Amino acid sequence: MLVAMLIEDMLADLGFEVLGPAMRLDTALKMAREETFDLAVLDVNLANEQSFPVAHLLQERGIPFFFATGYGLRGLDERFKEVMTLQKPFEPHQLADAISSALPRRDK
Amino acid sequence: MVIGAPNNVGMKLPRLSARLYLLGLITAAVVPVWLFAAYLLAQYALNERSRFESEALQVAHQMSLVVEGEITNLATVVDGLSKSSAMSRGDLMTLHKEAARLVLGTDRIIFLRDVGRNQLLSTQAPFGTALPPVSALSTSEIAKLRSNLPIVSGVYAVSGIYRIAVSIPVRGPNGEDWLLAISVRTDHIRDIMMPAVPEGWTIGVGDREGAYVARSSLHEEMTGKPGLPEYLEKVAGRSGTFTSRNFQGMTLLAGYYRSGASNWFYTANVPLSIVQAPLWRSLSAIAALALVAMLISSALTYVVGKGFAKAARDLASRANALGQGRPVKAMSTAISEFAVIADALVAAERALAEREFELEAVLETAPAAVWFTYDPQARRVIRNRFAAELMGLPTDTRKSFGTTDLVIDTIALQDGHTVSREDRPLSKAMRGEQTDNQEFAYILPNGVQRTLLSSARPIRGTSGKVIGAVQVSLDITARKQGEEQRRLLVNELNHRVKNTLAVVQSIASQTLRNATSLPEAGRSLTSRLVSLAKAHDILTQENWSGADLKEVVTAALSPHANRERLQISGDAVWLSPALALSLSLGFHELATNAIKYGALSCKEGTVSISWAVSRRGESKHVRIEWRELDGPPVVAVERKGFGTRMLEGLLGPQSVGNVTITFEPTGLVCVFEIELGESAGPDNAS
């Protein structure tokens, strides 16, 4: 939650508009299904639940995303081996790099 | 264990039973005795025979003396008559009368004859009667006549009665050569002889022609008859002995004596059977004795040999028992040498048993699983107690070691690969390969998994051939689990440290973002980090399973206010670690704010913290109220400070519930509406 606030601040500083954060799986799933956005940063753990259903939903909708977690890569589901993972804690420029490599290339 | 075949050392001896040796021994001892006895017997028999032979000679000679004495008597009778005056006068009539008187009442006959065949008178007929001629004289008789010796006749018959006659030469009145003779029946000779005949002997008297004169038995039939030619042939010379068959077909030992005076011969016969009877008696006695001795020694040999054989069998069965590790019973035997061996076997068994007890004690004590096998397939094994325990088998202490059992079907893995039974340490050891400290994972039939550190060695017999194998394994399951748990713990710790650092990063970032001055930022950051550390302490005490709400509240507020200025009340509520951390930080913010601007900034102000749990459908909710009282006049704050933002961020609608802050006239009131959910795991501090 505190970390979510940090990421929210970092994203705001990078000039992004932030939807959320969603602290619970049901909220996150609702947002992933209904809201319109360009990119999602997913923590693996959401109030004792894992965020993989959200990742799955995002994959279906074709919305880019990446994980931010304290676990190593081994904590991830097999299906998301290809998905980028940002190790906590991280610096704002690491977040920026992750976003730019996750977002499809487009003209500014 | 297997008892080896006897070594082929030394030369091969023929193998015979003890009975045969005993029989041989007895025979060797007895046969010379028999031979000696037989030799003595033969000597005795020879002595007996020569004794009989000399006795036969003696008897024959005695008989001759008896009979020749009578002949002399008869000659004396006629000699007396020849000296009478009638004879010298030639008065034959008177001579006849005198002669008749001499033989009166007897069957003797006195007669007078010339050298021719004429009889001059005979007491058989009245004087003057014409008399029958008599037999002519032989040349030897005539020769005797010339030398004035009595002449003894052979046997002759007169009217069917056999007689003999003794004659002496007399001169007639005119110088004629006459013979005065007395004749007696051969019975008379027999009667004279009989009292002198020793018992058991048969005496025969033969005349010079070989005809029987008298015989001690069957006289009537034999007298006058010629003797057997075979018999007569052997009577040569004056005296001697011989064996011969008589007319009854009986074999006889005979001694004979020929008289010079009468030229008669006397034989003394005894049946050879009587002569040899003592020999046969002794022989049969010896034979019977030998037979009895043989039977007794055979019986003894049989009995003793049987005892030997039984003792030997008993010893062999005990030696086998010793070899197979069965108990050796004490043995009762009358043969001390066998008893010594049996005692030695019992002692050996005891010594072996003690070695076995030592081994068993070691196998019971060593904290290692041990398997033995003597099966080439390594399927039949002997386990110690630990091995049985390891395999999940019952551990009957006495039975667990020493009996063979089939192996249990397990799955063995080494480095993640299945290991077939043939490639496991015990099977490899049976093939002579040795294994040292190799790690295997075993999955037992009941699904339990164990990790063993195994070593195995072949057991070699005296010839160096592999006869069995032993495997020793240490159960390192707990160690492996410990290692795995440590690895997980390290990972978990790493994860938590990183999460915590991310939280610290966030707190620092927020503090700096909202600070009015750098010193204030430093103070805020320090107190927030201390608050975070306290929440960690509580969670660590509970092993990160969660925390009690009251404890969280107390710990968060204790650095800022005395207990008497706080009123804390509510049910026991168990919080997840993440919620505990958030609430801890939240109360820290409220307390800091109260100290700066609220109820805790003056001396009279107090804070009441109360909560209640309620159910909404499936999930539990807790409503926590922070109410400040008796503080300075309340001023609503325009700017949303980090504190407020943090409260909303931590506990607001986007996360776990609702935060409502109102500024009532009595003071600030903050209400948390928090959904507790169902679970409370330790891994949720983000």
pLDDT in tens, B368-421: 988 889 988 888 888 888 888 888 887 765 554 667 788 888 888 888 899 988
Contact B655 A70 (CB under 8 A): no
Distance CA B492, CA A45 (A): 14
Least confident span in A72-76, B204-208, B285-289, B465-469: A72-76
Pairing of the two strands B239-245 and B151-152: unpaired
Q: Given this model, what pLDDT does residue B250 score?
A: 82
Tens of pLDDT, residue by residue over B65-93, are 999 999 999 999 888 888 888 888 888 88
B656 vs A contacts (CB less than 8 Å): 23-24, 47
Q: Which of A104, A108, A70, A65 is nearest to A84 (CA)?
A: A65
Report the pLDDT value the prediction gives residue B686, as an integer from 0 to 100. Answer: 38
What is the DSSP pairing of strand A65-69 with strand A40-43?
A: parallel
pLDDT value for B468: 92
B677 touches chain A (CB under 8 A): yes
Task: Render the burial of B593-632: b for 16+ CB within 10 Å, e for the rest.
Answer: bbeebbbbeeeebbbbbebeeeeeeeebbbbbebbbbebe
Q: Give the other-Cβ count within 10 Å of A107's Cβ.
A: 3
Nearest to A76 by CA among A64, A67, A63, A89: A67
Q: What angle do CA B348, B350, B352 make, to 5 degrees?
A: 70
d(CA B201, CA B271): 8
Strand partners, A50: A45
Any idea of the CA torsion for B347, B348, B351, B352, to the nearest 10 degrees? -140
Q: Is there a contact between A70 and B505 if contact means CB atoms under 8 Å apart?
A: no
pLDDT digits 0-9 by tens, B514-524 = 788 889 889 88
User: What are the DSSP calls for B156-209, one per residue?
Assistant: EEETTEEEEEEEEEEE-TTS-EEEEEEEEEHHHHHHHHGGGPPTT-EEEEE-TT
Reported ipTM: the value is 0.83
Check: CB of residue A58 under 8 Å from CB of residue A32: yes
Distance of CA B639 to the CA centre of its chain: 110
Q: Given an 8 Å threshold on Cβ–Cβ distance, is A3 in contact with B502?
A: yes
Interface membership of B686 toward A (CB under 8 Å): yes
On the question of pLDDT at B656 being above 70, the answer is no
- How far is residue B583's CA from residue B574's CA, in Å, rounded to a whole number? 12
> What chain B residue is nearest to A20 in terms of C-alpha separation?
B654
Q: Does the beta-carbon distance from A27 to B496 stay under 8 Å?
A: no
Give the three-class secondary structure for B633: coil
Q: Tell me what pLDDT residue B643 has.
A: 66
CA of A10: which chain B residue's CA is closest? B509
Question: Is the model more confident about B173 or about A46?
Answer: B173
Looking at the complex, report in whole angstroms how far the Cα of residue B684 sits from the nearest Cα belonging to chain A.
6
Chain A residues whose C-beta is within 8 A of a chain B C-beta are 1-6, 9, 20-24, 27, 43, 45, 47-48, 70-72, 75, 87-89
3-class SS of residue A97 = helix
Helix (H) or strand (E) holding B370: strand B369-373
Contacts of A94 (CB under 8 A, 6+ apart): A86
Determine what percent of chain B is predicted with pLDDT higher than 90. 12
Cβ pairs A/B, distance under 8 A: 85
Average pLDDT, chain B: 84
B655 vs A contacts (CB less than 8 Å): 1, 23-24, 47
Q: Which of B241-250, B451-460, B624-633 is predicted least confidently?
A: B241-250
Q: Closest Cα partner for B557 from B539, B576, B535, B524? A: B535
In the three-class reduction of DSSP (H, G, I as helix; E, B as strand; rest coil), residue B638 is classed as coil
Chain A interface includes B396 (CB < 8 A): no
Q: In this predicted structure, which of B102-111, B479-488, B615-624 has the lowest mean pLDDT?
A: B615-624
pLDDT score at B641: 60
Q: Which residues in chain A are contacts of B491 at CB distance < 8 A?
A: 71-72
Strand partners, B239: B257
Q: B502 vs A21: CB contact, 8 Å cut-off?
A: no
Contact A2 B649 (CB under 8 A): yes
What's the pLDDT score for residue A107? 45
Contact B580, B535 (CB under 8 A): yes
Tell me: cis bond preceding B682? Omega within 30 of 0 counts: no
Tokens (6 digits) for A74: 């081994």
Mean pLDDT of B167-193: 88
Q: Is the pLDDT of residue B364 over 90?
A: no
Show residues of chain A in contact with B544, CB under 8 Å: none
Contact A70 B496 (CB under 8 A): yes
| Interface mutation target, options A7, A11, A13, A23, chain B, most CBs of B under 10 Å | A23
DSSP conformation class of B631: -
Q: A24 to chain B: nearest residue by CA?
A: B655
Q: Is B5 helix (H, G, I), strand (E, B) or coil?
A: coil
Choose among B684, B80, B273, B395: nearest CA to A3. Answer: B684
What's the CA gap between B625 and B533, in Å, rounded? Answer: 24
Q: Does residue B655 surpass a pLDDT of 80? A: no
Q: What is the pLDDT of residues B206-238, one digit of tens each?
A: 988 888 889 888 888 888 888 888 778 888 888
pLDDT digits (tens, 9 = 90+) for B416-455: 899 988 889 999 999 999 999 999 998 888 888 889 999 9
* Residue range A55-70: mean pLDDT, rounded: 84
Of residues A5, A48, A75, nearest to B649 (C-beta)? A5
The CA-atom distances, in angstroms, between B196 and each of B52, B61, B71, B201 are 17, 11, 16, 10
User: Which residue do the tokens 């975070």 mark?
Assistant: B532
Radius of gyration of chain A (CA): 13
Question: Average pLDDT of B552-566?
Answer: 84
What pLDDT is stored for residue B156 in this prediction? 87
Whether residue B347 lies within 8 A of chain A, CB to CB, comes out as no
pLDDT at B608: 92
**Shortest Cα–Cα distance, A87 to chain B (Å):** 9
Asked if B501 is an interface residue toward chain A (Cβ–Cβ < 8 A), one would say yes
Q: Bridge partners of B674? A: B622, B657
Predicted confidence (pLDDT) at residue B685 exceeds the cutoff of 60 = no
pLDDT at B430: 92
Interface probe, candidates A48, A51, A91, chain B, greatest B C-beta count within 10 A: A48
- What is the distance of C-alpha A11 from the center of its chain? 11
Q: Which pLDDT score, from 0 to 100, does residue B5 have?
A: 47
- Judged by CB atoms closer than 8 Å, whether chains meet at B506 and A6 is answered as yes
Q: Topology of domain A2-102, per CATH?
A: Rossmann fold (3.40.50)
Six-digit token pair at B154? 């052979």
For residue B431 the two structure tokens come to: 């093939």
CB B495 to CB A71 under 8 A? yes
Residue pLDDT, tens place only, B140-153: 788 877 887 888 88
Q: Which of A2, A20, A48 minimises the CB distance to B506?
A: A2
Q: Which chain B residues contact residue A70 at CB under 8 A? A: 495-496, 498-499, 502, 686
Strands B161-171 and B156-158: antiparallel
Residues B308-328 have a mean pLDDT of 85
Q: Which of residues 513-542 of B touch A (CB under 8 A)?
A: 513
